[in-house]
């Protein structure tokens, strides 16, 4: 028997080259939105969408797994999804919540799909108001406006009455994949990439 070289045993397994993997994903016309939505992640996502749209009118696949984040950053992605000419297939996985649900609704319902274990969350925006009373009052009014705007988008894109959506987002409203289909958030549940291509 040969003794194991301790230096060899402790050698770390090389990590995949993330820049290489990002490039491969991009070349396959796939955009990933994972983790919290911030102005930085929104900027990167928008940049990728615009570049892919300029390159070709072929479909783009966007895979989303995010708890949400900054509402206006989600707005930016939502609006750019509607702005570009290339069609986008929106694929939910893991969980799609809050501002992530908002950007998920940036494409037509027939292009919104999810994987079987996906959960969705809709709710009203929250804010940490602080400062003078007059500023707190302004922030409170803006939150009310944002709540109504989000409700109108959900109602329009899901085919639900606005009154129902307003009631549903009063508290956290969780939906497993099947319920999200019934609600109109998702067109269908898929398990394999070939099903996406058949849609």
When pLDDT is averaged across residues 79-100 and rounded to a whole number, the result is: 97
pLDDT at 140: 75
Residue 23 to residue 25: CA distance in whole angstroms: 5
* CA–CA gap between residue 63 and residue 34 (Å, rounded): 8
Which pLDDT band holds residue 9 (cuts at 50, 70, 90)? very low
Tell me how far the alpha carbon of residue 68 is from its chain's centroid.
7
Average pLDDT over the chain, rounded to an integer:
87
Assigned token pair, 132: 């003078």
Residue spans of the domains in the chain: they are: 30-193
Catalytic residue, chosen from 78, 102, 123, 173, is: 123
Indicate if the alpha-carbon torsion angle 119, 36, 24, 84 is positive or negative. positive
104: pLDDT confidence band, cut at 50, 70 and 90? Answer: very high
Beta bridge partners of residue 33, listed in sequence order: 64
CA distance 58 to 29: 8
**Confidence band of 8 (pLDDT split at 50, 70, 90):** very low
> Considering just the CA atoms, what is the radius of gyration of the chain in Å?
20
Question: What is the CATH architecture assignment of 30-193?
Answer: Alpha-Beta Complex (3.90)
- pLDDT score at 138: 74
Structure tokens at 72: 């206006």
| pLDDT band of 146, cuts 50, 70, 90 | confident
Arithmetic mean of pLDDT, 25-48: 93
Q: Is 123 a catalytic residue?
A: yes
Q: Higher pLDDT residue, 117 or 199?
A: 117
Q: Is the pLDDT of residue 1 over 50?
A: no
Average pLDDT for 83-88: 97
Sign of torsion, CA 159 64 93 101? negative
Look up the pTM and report it. Answer: 0.82
């Amino acid at each position: 028997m040969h003794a194991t070289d301790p230096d060899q045993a402790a050698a770390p397994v090389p990590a995949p080259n993330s820049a290489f993997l990002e490039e491969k994903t991009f070349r396959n016309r796939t955009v990933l939105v994972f983790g919290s939505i911030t102005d930085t992640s929104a900027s990167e996502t928008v940049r990728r969408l615009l570049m892919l749209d300029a390159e070709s009118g072929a479909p783009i696949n966007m895979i989303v797994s995010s708890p949400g984040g900054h509402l206006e950053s989600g707005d930016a992605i939502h609006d750019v999804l509607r702005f570009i000419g290339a069609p986008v297939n929106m694929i939910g996985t893991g969980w799609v919540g809050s501002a992530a649900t908002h950007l998920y609704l940036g494409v037509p319902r027939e292009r919104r799909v999810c994987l079987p274990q996906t959960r969705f969350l809709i709710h009203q925006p929250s804010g940490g108001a602080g400062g003078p009373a007059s500023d707190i009052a302004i922030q409170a009014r803006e939150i009310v406006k944002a709540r109504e705007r989000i409700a109108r988008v959900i109602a329009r894109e899901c085919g639900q009455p606005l009154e129902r959506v307003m009631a549903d987002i009063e508290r956290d409203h969780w939906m497993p994949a099947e319920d999200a289909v019934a609600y109109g958030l998702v067109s269908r549940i898929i398990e394999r990439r070939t099903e996406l291509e058949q849609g």
